[in-house]
Structures are given as C-alpha cells and as structure tokens.
Structure 1
Amino acid sequence: MTPTGSGKTFTMVGDKEQKNPGLMPRSFNAIFDIIRENSSKFDFKVSAYMLELYNDRLQDLFVSQAGEAHAQTQSHGQARRVEIKRNRKGVVFAQGAETKEASSAQELYALFQQACANRHISATKMNVESSRSHLIVGIRVESKNLTNGSVSTGKLSLVDLAGSERAAKTGAKDHQLKEANSINKSLSALGDVISALSAELPHVPYRNSKLTQVMQDSLGGNAKTLMIVNISPSECNLDETLTSLVYATRVKAITNNAQRNVESKEIAQLKEVIMKLKSGQSVEDVDV
C-alpha cells in the first residue's frame, strides 16, 4: 500500500496557497471550462457532496463536527447518519449527506475548502499533517440537450486516500493507533476489490468495507478510473514502495467498457413531474 507521507494529498489537493493546485481544484476548473464551451448547446447543473471515512464511519464534511455535536445536544437526538445507497443504474449516492449546487469553479472550490477544514488530520513521526481519513468528493453533472431535450448524467468521484501505516514507524498510539488500524483495514479491502477485478472474478467483495462500497461505481462497471500511486523515495520505505508498485500493476490490468448515461426527453420530463409531485408542487399538463 502507499505509505503515509508519500504525497497523496499534495497530488490531489495541492499546496495551501494553491500555487501548485492538485487534481481536485484542476478538475473543478476543467468541468466549468467544458460547461462554458458548450453553453449554447446544453443546459448544465453541477452539484456535489463531500465526505470523509473516519474510523469506519462516513461523515458529511459540509457539517462541522462541532456544529453536529451542538445540534445533537440541542435536539437530544442522534447524529445524522450517512449511508451508502445505489440507484437502479448502480450509481452510488450518500443518503443523509448534504448535496450543494455550484455555478462556478470558484463556488465549487469554496465548498471544497469548507469540507477540508472539517477533515481529520494530525501529526505523526512520518508526516506533519497526516490524513487520518479518506476524503471522498462526489460531483454530479447533469446536462440537458437544448435541441432534443435528452438528458445525460455523470458523476466524477475524487478520492484522497489516507496512507497505510506501521505503528513502529509513525509512533501512533491510543486514538491514532485506532485510526491507523481502520485505515489499513479499508485499504486492504480496496486491495481485495482490485485483485478480484483484475482477475475478472465473478464476485467482487465491495461490501467488505465502507470505502469500497462508496467507490463501487468508480471501480470497474460503467466507470473510467484513474488511480495515482505515490511512492516514497526514502530507502527506509523500500518494502512499502515495492508493495505499492505491485498494487499499481494489478490496477493497470483492469479493463472495462464504459458507456454514456443518457435519457430521452420523455423520460426526463416524467422524472421532473414525479419530483414536483413528491415535493407537493402543482403539475400542469405535460405532453410526453
């Protein structure tokens, strides 16, 4: 597995000043560049949810943990649970998590900064700002063809994985040791999924971890996947580096046939009617 401190978060997020932006902010800009280029032909809607998987629990990063604790105290109820669900097309969504719309790359990046501020990080012997959770950013893009009314939907999942750890190297104790064990267990489950996909086994063990459940529609199936494996140049991390390269070789062996998710104008209109009825709005006669 890719060890902690090898540069995964820098690759995905970049530096704090954004002089060297990572894949996530670059993706935000690319999405809205494409939208601008096609604005005369399509009507677009962009929405996002941002989660972290911390100690095997999914948490909504649009809600600060302090704010959630305060709301729970005020209401004397249970903290809001985020659960992984799949629709009939196999697309994963986070039930209970807040989804926010963005009309520009700047708005989307502001939401991302809000989410990152609520993420768990701490210092270890190997990393000053070690990610103690997996960060999952789901961006849904819906485009409506202005000529024929057909609707296409897509989801871009951007995942910053926490690094695998050896307690002897990181000096993890108590709650940090619990965090490390949870991280290693989920990364091991991800490795099992990668192995099953590369070997084209009939059963892929997605349900063995919440991490692999939330990434299910991003691995194999109808997805195109780019996985970046970071390795440390330090000689003391040689074992981890070799393991990471073997892991990357297995990932590269996976092939699949991705197809576009397109609905006809009639289906899109019917869904709009159903949504209005569910929300209690009146529906005028619609010719479908």
Structure 2
Amino acid sequence: MRKKYYNMVENMKGKIRVFCRIRPLNRAEATQGGAIVVEKMDEYSVNLETPRGQREFQFDKVFNAETTQEEIFQDTNRLIQSAIDGYNVCIFAYGQTGSGKTFTMVGDKEQKNPGIMPRAFNAIFDIIQENSTKFDFKVSVYMLELYNDRLQDLFASLAGEAQSHGQSRRVEIKRNRKGVVFAQGAETKEASSAQELYALFQQACANRHISATKMNVESSRSHLIVGIMVESRNLTNGSVSCGKLSLVDLAGSERAAKTGAKNHQLKEANSINKALSALGDVISALSSELPHVPYRNSKLTQIMQDSLGGNAKTLMIVNISPSECNIDETLTSLIYATRVKSITNNAQRNLESKEIAQLKEVIMKLRSGQTVEDEEI
C-alpha cells in the first residue's frame, strides 16, 4: 500500500512514469542454459542478481514474461485520452538490442499480438466516435526515423521523393511558443479512421532500416518517431484544443562484440549508441537538476525535448532480458530508467478560446488570398 500511494503522489507531482517489462528467455538464451537473474518481486519492484549481490529497483509498474500486450496497453490507455484532451503525451521504449522494444511498441509481424502503437490508433478513433456529438476532430500524423544521425521523413520516401530529387526533403526540428516540438518540412497526412492510420503506419515502416545481428533477427537500425496531432473543436463553445501523441521506438544500445556488427552495421551501431549516450546525458542533467541540459547534442534529444523535462505527460517502458548473459546491459538499462523516473515535467493543456481560434481562421484565409467578411473579424 505504501508503494502504491507513493506512486500516486509521484504521478500527481508530474514525474515521468516508468514501466519495466521483463521479456521471456529467447531461443539462444535457453540453448545456452544461462541462469535467470531477473525477478519481479511485486507490482512495483524488480530484483537483479549481480556478481556483487542483489539489487532492487522500483518503478511505477513491473511486468513479467507472462504479461500480455493487452495488459501492457491497459496501463497506458488513459494517456491516449490525455492527448485527445489537448495534452502533449509521449510513450517511448528503451533497452538493449533484442530486449523486446519493437514488440512492445509495434507488435509481431502478423499482428496477432499488436503493440502499443496499433492499439493507440484504435483507441484514438474509439474515443473520437464516443465524443462525435460534442466535438469536431481532425487527426494528422508524421512519421520519421533517425538513421545515421539523419532525420528522414518516411512519408517522403513513400512518394519516391528521395529517388527523384537525389536526396530526401530536409526535416528540421522546431519548437512553437508553447515549447511543443514539431518537424518542419516533414509531410503530414490526415487520417479519418484507425484503419487508414494503420495503413499509413505500415507503409512508412516498410521504409525503416532493419537488419539481422547475432542478438536479433530483425534489429531496428534507426529510432522511429510517430507524431499524431489531434485537434478538437468544442461544438458548444467553439474552443479548440490541440494534443500531440509521440510514440517512439528507440533502436537498442549494443556492443559490436556481442552483435557481430561490421562495416555499415558498425556505423549504424555507433550512431545509435551516440544518440542514446546523448539521451543519457540529458536524463542525467535533468535528474540532477543541472542548470544546463545538453539537448542540442543530438537530433534525438532535440526531438524528445518536450517529452523529457518539457510539458508532456511521459511514459517510458524499459525492456530487459532475464538472462545472465545480458546482465551488464540489464543493469545499465535499470539504472538509466531509475534516473528517468526522477525527472519532473509540467504537463499543460494546449487550449485556445473560440475568439483566438476564429482569428487564426481569418489569418489563414487572408494568407491564401481569400476575402474576409466584416462579421468574421
């Protein structure tokens, strides 16, 4: 009970929430016969058996190998409602390569066990349908990958823009007056249903960089960032709220000696590790409440600036292996996640009055050369 109420208080204070997910042993680990060194103690605690003794870590929720995708999503579902209510929301997965991040966020190939992303698509439109008589909604999305320190628009790749122009469209990370990050130059597509949104997602993911390593048959070689904007207009008073849901599947940290990465894979691994190291520096600075936070050291930290130490409701899911052969990486991930848990955000709703919303419409009309009636001003 003490842990439960402690976590409730932490959540009210604006702390970033952190879940820990322990995946099952994979075939390689089972074949090696390595001992299981990770144990879920209770709903909030995980125990790691290290050569120097036991270490206990506490998080907002701990899930073991038997936990289903549905159960994971049940504990993240309320954040989808927050995004529709006009909040900036971020859900991201972290962990070593092969720890199950993409399974948690995306699911399996056949979608027999869909992850947080496809489930979130359904939840958004379920909520929209429930509130269709009170609000008018507009859903738009951009999808990016950070590959070898370059931010690439996965929708631009769809249109063959990269091939026809010799290079992909330049995407720049910007922040608006409220501190919300957006991708300038990235193509944004509208979606009117969960099926349409998932179809866009599948097409974009087909362009994502993956390859096989010794640690993972389909290792993500890039960081995937999905940004879903939900604009809602209150049909009663005309007020407009704009929420953003950022879903991030980070590539895994890795050691070349274990993954067998060579040549271009080694370059990819170095780029991945460099970005994750920069993310670690930002987390360390925020958790220590240092006056300077080095967001500009990486495009990854720039695009996640409003999610870490910003105005977002943020959830991190740290994915870990239970096997003794991955003990060093597991310990590093758990320490990393503990630092994230100590960061405080100030979540604010992006809401505009009816008058401001009307003025914006007038400005848009004037910019496009349309005439404006006196009663509109």
TM-score, length of structure 1 as denominator length: 0.93
Q: Offset of 1:11 from its aligned partner? A: 0.4
CA distance in 1, matches of 2:105, 2:165: 38
CA distance in 2, matches of 1:124, 1:77: 30
Q: Offset of 1:280 from its aligned partner? A: 2.7
Question: In structure 2, do the counterparts of structure 1 residues 249 and 147 end up closer, same or farther at CA, with 3 Å as the change threshold?
Answer: same
Q: Offset of 1:196 from its aligned partner? A: 1.5
Query: Quick check: 251-260 or 113-122, which moved more?
Result: 251-260
Aligned equivalent of 2:295: 206
3-state DSSP of counterpart to 1:89: coil
In 1, are the aligned partners of 2:157 and 2:168 still within 8 Å (CA)?
no
In 1, are the aligned partners of 2:98 and 2:219 still within 8 Å (CA)?
yes
CA distance in 1, matches of 2:216, 2:345: 36
CA distance in 2, matches of 1:88, 1:145: 23
CA distance in 1, matches of 2:163, 2:332: 48
Query: Quick check: 181-190 or 80-89, which moved more?
Result: 80-89
Gaps of 5+ in 1: none
Question: In structure 2, do the counterparts of structure 1 residues 101 and 199 end up closer, same or farther at CA, with 3 Å as the change threshold?
Answer: same
Q: How many residue pairs get matched?
A: 281
Question: In structure 2, do the counterparts of structure 1 residues 60 and 193 end up closer, same or farther at CA, with 3 Å as the change threshold?
Answer: same
Q: Does 1:113 align with 2:206?
A: no
CA distance in 1, matches of 2:184, 2:323: 41
CA distance in 1, matches of 2:348, 2:362: 27
CA distance in 1, matches of 2:159, 2:366: 36
Q: Offset of 1:228 from its aligned partner? A: 0.3
Alignment counterpart, residue 307 of structure 2, candidates 190, 195, 218? 218
Question: In structure 2, do the counterparts of structure 1 residues 232 and 74 end up closer, same or farther at CA, with 3 Å as the change threshold?
Answer: closer
Question: In structure 2, do the counterparts of structure 1 residues 66 and 150 end up closer, same or farther at CA, with 3 Å as the change threshold?
Answer: closer
Superposed CA offset, 1:193-219 (max 9, x none):
111221222222111100011111112
3-state DSSP of counterpart to 1:10: helix
Question: In structure 2, do the counterparts of structure 1 residues 125 and 93 end up closer, same or farther at CA, with 3 Å as the change threshold?
Answer: same
Superposed CA offset, 1:142-194 (max 9, x none):
11111111111110000000001101111111111000000000001111111
Q: Offset of 1:77 from its aligned partner? A: 6.3
Question: In structure 2, do the counterparts of structure 1 residues 170 and 222 end up closer, same or farther at CA, with 3 Å as the change threshold?
Answer: same
CA distance in 1, matches of 2:157, 2:330: 35
Percentage of pairs with the same residue: 91
Quick one: higher RCO (CA 8 Å, sep 6+), 1 or 2?
2
Question: In structure 2, do the counterparts of structure 1 residues 26 and 274 end up closer, same or farther at CA, with 3 Å as the change threshold?
Answer: same
Higher normalized strand content (fraction of residues)? 2
Question: In structure 2, do the counterparts of structure 1 residues 148 and 65 end up closer, same or farther at CA, with 3 Å as the change threshold?
Answer: closer
Q: Offset of 1:74 from its aligned partner? A: 7.9
CA distance in 2, matches of 1:280, 1:65: 31
Superposed CA offset, 1:28-58 (max 9, x none):
1111111111111111110000000000000
Q: Offset of 1:92 from its aligned partner? A: 1.0
Aligned equivalent of 2:270: 181
Q: What is the alpha-carbon root mean square deviation over aligned residues?
A: 1.6
3-state DSSP of counterpart to 1:31: helix
Question: In structure 2, do the counterparts of structure 1 residues 276 and 170 end up closer, same or farther at CA, with 3 Å as the change threshold?
Answer: same
Query: Quick check: 104-113 or 269-278, which moved more?
Result: 269-278
CA distance in 2, matches of 1:11, 1:36: 26
CA distance in 2, matches of 1:74, 1:238: 43
Superposed CA offset, 1:214-246 (max 9, x none):
111112221010000001122111000001011
Question: In structure 2, do the counterparts of structure 1 residues 74 and 219 end up closer, same or farther at CA, with 3 Å as the change threshold?
Answer: closer
CA distance in 1, matches of 2:240, 2:144: 27
TM-score, length of structure 2 as denominator length: 0.72
Superposed CA offset, 1:60-79 (max 9, x none):
111227923xxxx9866653
3-state DSSP of counterpart to 1:39: coil
3-state DSSP of counterpart to 1:228: strand
Q: Offset of 1:279 from its aligned partner? A: 2.4
Aligned equivalent of 1:258: 347
CA distance in 1, matches of 2:121, 2:216: 27
Aligned equivalent of 2:319: 230
Question: In structure 2, do the counterparts of structure 1 residues 134 and 286 end up closer, same or farther at CA, with 3 Å as the change threshold?
Answer: farther
Question: In structure 2, do the counterparts of structure 1 residues 74 and 138 end up closer, same or farther at CA, with 3 Å as the change threshold?
Answer: closer
3-state DSSP of counterpart to 2:145: strand
Question: In structure 2, do the counterparts of structure 1 residues 280 and 66 end up closer, same or farther at CA, with 3 Å as the change threshold?
Answer: closer
